Structure formats: C-alpha cells, structure tokens
Structure 1
Amino acid sequence: MAASLDGQLVVAISSRALFDFEEENRIFETGDDKAYMNLQLQRLDQPAAPGVAFSLVHKLLAFNDANAQRVEVVILSRNDPVSGMRVFRSAQHYGLPIQRGSFTRGQPPWRYLRPLRANLFLSTHLADVRAALDAGVPAAQVYPHSVHASDAHPNEVRIAFDGDAVLFSDEAERVFQSQGLTAFQTHEASNAATPLAGGPFKPLLEALHRLQNEGTPMMRIRTALVTARSAPAHERAIRTLMNWNIEVDEAMFLGGLPKGEFLREFEPDFFFDDQTGHIESASRHVPSGHVASGISNL
C-alpha cells in the first residue's frame, strides 16, 4: 500500500526556522553556495542549535504514539541536498522523527505544499510565505531572532493567534483602515451576530481542534486569541468562533495595547500576526511569525 499523509496534521518547515543556521545563512546570502555547502559538510557531525520553531515542532510530534501517527513534519528548504544531510542529522540528534524533506538549492520550495496537503508552512523567506498564502496554505514568516519558547509547559502546545486577517478575514480591518476606530466599532457592533469569513489560518485552527480531540492525554493544545479589538467589537469575534464550533482557551481584547508583554505571560510556542509592528513587539518575548495577508500587507 502506498504511503499516505491523509488525516494527519502536516507541518512543512524550512531548515532555518527549525534550526539556528544564522551563521551559515550569512555565507548563503553572499551567493557563494559552494562555500555554504562546504561549511555545512564540515559541520555534518555538529548538530545545529534549536531554532525559533523548534519547540512547536517538538511538541506537535509528541502527539504521535505507537497507536497513531497524527502529526507529520516535513522539511521544505531552499538548502541544497548536501546541507539537507546536516538537517536530518540534527533532527535525529534531538529525537525528532522527521523522515521527509525537499531541498531545492535556492529554488522556491513552496510548490511542494500542495502534494503534501500541508496544514502549515513556516519559513524565514517572505516570498515563499506569500506564495504559500496565495495557494491557500496557512503560512508565516518566522522571525529568526525571536526569543525562543519557554520550557515551562512541556506537556502543552501553546499557540496564540491574532484575529483579523489571520483567523478571520480582513473585512473589519478594511473598515478600520479606511474609516477609523469609531466606524470600526460601530460596524462590528451592528454586525455582532454575523460571523466573519474565515481568514488564512482558520484551516489550521480547525486542524488543531481535531488533533486536540483525537490526541493523547500526554499532550494537549492550548490556544489564545490575542487581538487589538476591544468591547464592543469583541462580541463578533467570539460569536464567529462559536459559529465555527471551535473554542479557544483564552481571549485577550487589548484595545491597541502592545501585545508583547501579554504574550510573554501566556508563553506560547508560537504567535501569528499579520502586522509587522505586532510581530516585532512580540518577537522580543516569544517565538513569532508574520502572516503576510490582508490589507495591511498589500
């Protein structure tokens, strides 16, 4: 019988998002790929340090057990195949059961997301993230200098999401940007009972919800909605989630306050937001990724 990823949560991730290849990347960025390959080959037996998304991947893979393969992580990288050897060896060193990968030596790897049926793509390369989002795959640009995740919650995958243009469509954000805060609040209050359309990360939230319901007592998922909305615009967001039959564990309606310190207290393994200002604030406290979608990214 042919191998299949059907029914699994599939996370595609670049090598630089999973491991700390910042020193090596400085050589890669010079365009001297031969020097880069030689350096990676010299360090073949030297495991790379964990990267920004390492904690998220490590914990998601813990949902797998002898009875079920619930999560699949695939390396999708602009690295060359020689460097790919070090990526796989590093994964093996840390006990990450990662078996699949595509290494494209500088070419866009996002085109392999569709045959993988990926639920999430994490990369440091913005162009690949934009292309993935255009193809309908939840994707975020990992900020490689983000603070790494806390180790305070070893049996809990903690993920925080912005609302508008991430979990939800950018409908309300368009009102805010074109007409201001008062019009936004009025619009959302008058449409409180009308669910928002899904945003690019709705499919990921749904997949996480299924994983939580089907998963193992050894690991659980805790989610948070972290949004600049405040009352009365909060109600539409909550009712939208209710309409989707999805619950989040925490909801923070911050009314424009900086998100970083609140996220520091929540201690997520990853935070997703569509606005670079919020990501720059958050990345000083938690692992963060930019969702390059919606009107703020036109």
Structure 2
Amino acid sequence: MAVTLDDKLVVAISSRALFNLEEENAVFEGGDATAYMQLQLDRVEQAAKPGIAFSLIKKLLAFNTETIQRVEVVILSRNDPVSGMRIFRSGKANDIKLERGVFTQGSSPFRYLRPLRAHLFLSANADDVREALAAGFPSARVLPESVLAAATNYPNEVRIAFDGDAVLFSDEAEQVFQSHGLDAFQQHESSKALQPLPEGPFKPLLAALHRLQQAGTPQMRIRTALVTARSAPAHERAIRTLLKWDIRVDEAMFLGGLPKGEFLREFEPDFFFDDQTGHVAHAAQHGIPSGHVASGVSNTKH
C-alpha cells in the first residue's frame, strides 16, 4: 500500500519557526554559508531550544497515538542537508517526532507544499510566505524575535486564534473599509448580512482543524477563537458565514477596533494569525506566538 499524507493534517514548518536558531541565522545572514554549515555541524549534538511555534507543533502532534497518526509535521527549510541533521536531532531531544524534511540550501522551499498537500506553512522568511499564499496555501511569517509565551495552562488543548477579514474570510469588506471608511463598511456588511463572505486564505486550515477535532482523541482537543476588529452590526455576516461553512469557533471577540493583545493574553492561544503587522506585533508584545498573514489589501505593495 502506497504511503500517503491525504488523511492527515499536514503542517510544514521552517527550522527557525520551530526552534530558536537566531544565533546561527546571524552567521548565515552574514553571507558565510561555509561558516554557518560548520557551526551547525559543530553543534549537531546540541539540541536547539524551542522556537515561537514549538508549543503549537508539540500539541498538534499529541493528537497522534501509537496506532493512529492524525498529524504530520514536515520541516521545510532553506537550510542545507548538513544542518538538517541537527534539526532532526533537536526534534528527538525535545520529544517532537519529525520524520520528513526538505532542505533546499538557500532556495525557496514553498514549491514543495503542493506534493505535501500542506494545510499550514510557518516560516520566518517573508518572501516564502508570500509565495506560498499566492499558491493557495495557508501561510504565515513568524516573528522569531518575539518573547516566548509562558507555560500554558491548557496542556490538553490546542488553542488557535484567527483574525477574520483577509485571514478566515476574504478581504472584500476590508477593501470597503480602507476605501470608504467605517460607516460605509458597517452599511456594506449590514446590507449583505445574509450573504456569506468569500473564503479567505486560512479557511482550509480552520476546516482541517474542525475535521481533526471531530476525529480526535479524548486526551486532546482544539479550541478556536475569532478575534476581529468587527463590531455590531457587522458581526452578523461573519457568524452567518461560519454557519454556512458548517464550521464553529469556540469563542468570538468582536472588538470594534480595540487592541487585540490584552484579549489574546486572556485566551492564551498557542498561535494567533492576523493580516496586519500592527496586530501581530502587539500580540507578540503580550507573549502571544503570532504569525503575519501577508494577504489582502492591507498588504498590497505600493
């Protein structure tokens, strides 16, 4: 029987998103690839410390049992194959089961997302994330310089928070807000309250998490939150869209423009996805592992 990943939640992640490799990356960015490779080889027995997405990955892998593998994590990295040895060993030392990896030695790795059929790609490289989003894969740029979150209070729960417009939903409504202001946005969304929003780049991930939750294990569960700047009456269209998709979120926060960081700190997500760098940076300041989704009008290059 052929090996396949079709029945699994597949997360592709760069080595810098999973582990703290900023000291090594500084050597790489300095342009001395040989010195970088040698440094990784010298440290091959030294396990790298957890990075920004470590908690998310470790918890998702906890959905696997000895008999059923529901989640697959694949390293997708610009690293060289020599450095890959250290990544796999670091995974084992940190009790992260890594079996597959693609190491491209400086080339963009995003093209391998298609054969992997990945549901999520996390990377510290902004260009790779943009290319992956353009190819139709839920992708986010992590902020490796962020402060790691404190130990979670929810060891048996994967908590993920999503922005709405340009993340779970398309940026259709955001375009109205950017062009015509808040009043026009509210009127637009009220008039279309019964019309579902088009899908955004992270709808496939939310759907995959929903399937994982339904097929899950008593030892682990998923809790999701919609954290959006929308407020009444624009909230209704977002709720009805999720109902149309037959996907529920556990919590919804319609903040009407309030800063998201303090609310996220109370929810304590293992990861938060937003299309606006300001929201991502603010969340990171509150110790929330965050990823920037470079989609929609807010990320259009001028």
User: If the length of structure 1 is used for normalisation, what is the TM-score?
Assistant: 0.99
Counterpart of 2:268 in structure 1 is 267
Task: Figure out how many residues of one structure are paired with residues of the other and give that number.
Answer: 298
For 2:27 and 2:145, how far apart are their aligned partners in 1? 17
C-alpha deviation, 1:260, in angstroms:
0.7
Deviations, residues 142-171 of structure 1 (Å, cap 9, x unaligned)? 011223244211000000000000000000
For 2:238 and 2:147, how far apart are their aligned partners in 1? 29
For 2:49 and 2:97, how far apart are their aligned partners in 1? 17
Counterpart of 2:19 in structure 1 is 19
In structure 1, list runs of 5 or more residues that go unmatched. Answer: none
For 1:29 and 1:259, how far apart are their aligned partners in 2? 33
C-alpha deviation, 1:68, in angstroms:
1.1
Matches within 5 A, 1:119-198: 119-149=119-149, 150-198=151-199
C-alpha deviation, 1:284, in angstroms:
1.0
C-alpha deviation, 1:2, in angstroms:
2.2
Does the Cα contact within 8 Å between 1:88 and 1:98 map onto a contact in 2?
Answer: yes
For 2:230 and 2:144, how far apart are their aligned partners in 1? 28
For 2:117 and 2:244, how far apart are their aligned partners in 1? 25
Which amino acid is 1:179 matched to? Answer: H
For 1:70 and 1:294, how far apart are their aligned partners in 2? 31
For 1:152 and 1:82, how far apart are their aligned partners in 2? 37
Which amino acid is 1:166 matched to? Answer: V
Which amino acid is 2:289 matched to? Answer: P
Q: Secondary structure at the match of 2:232?
A: coil
Counterpart of 1:71 in structure 2 is 71
Deviations, residues 239-264 of structure 1 (Å, cap 9, x unaligned)? 10011011100000111111111101
Deviations, residues 33-68 of structure 1 (Å, cap 9, x unaligned)? 111111111111110000000000000000001231
For 1:127 and 1:21, how far apart are their aligned partners in 2? 19
Tell whether 2:224 aligns with 1:223.
Answer: yes
Does the Cα contact within 8 Å between 1:145 and 1:283 map onto a contact in 2?
Answer: no
Does the Cα contact within 8 Å between 1:13 and 1:73 map onto a contact in 2?
Answer: yes
RMSD after superposition: 0.7
Deviations, residues 174-225 of structure 1 (Å, cap 9, x unaligned)? 0000000000001111111110000000000000000000010100000000
In structure 2, list runs of 5 or more residues that go unmatched. Answer: none
C-alpha deviation, 1:3, in angstroms:
1.2
Counterpart of 1:38 in structure 2 is 38
For 1:94 and 1:144, how far apart are their aligned partners in 2? 18
Q: Secondary structure at the match of 1:206?
A: helix
Counterpart of 1:104 in structure 2 is 104
Q: Secondary structure at the match of 2:240?
A: helix
For 1:204 and 1:57, how far apart are their aligned partners in 2? 14
For 1:225 and 1:254, how far apart are their aligned partners in 2? 10
Deviations, residues 109-155 of structure 1 (Å, cap 9, x unaligned)? 00100000000000000000000001100000001122324421100
For 1:49 and 1:63, how far apart are their aligned partners in 2? 23
For 1:32 and 1:75, how far apart are their aligned partners in 2? 23
Tell whether 2:295 aligns with 1:293.
Answer: yes
Deviating beyond 6 angstroms after TM superposition, the runs of 4 or more aligned structure 1 residues are none
Counterpart of 1:203 in structure 2 is 204
C-alpha deviation, 1:281, in angstroms:
0.5
C-alpha deviation, 1:78, in angstroms:
0.4
C-alpha deviation, 1:7, in angstroms:
1.1
Counterpart of 1:115 in structure 2 is 115
Q: Secondary structure at the match of 1:283?
A: helix
Deviations, residues 81-109 of structure 1 (Å, cap 9, x unaligned)? 11110000000001111100001110000
Which amino acid is 2:298 matched to? Answer: S
Counterpart of 1:247 in structure 2 is 248
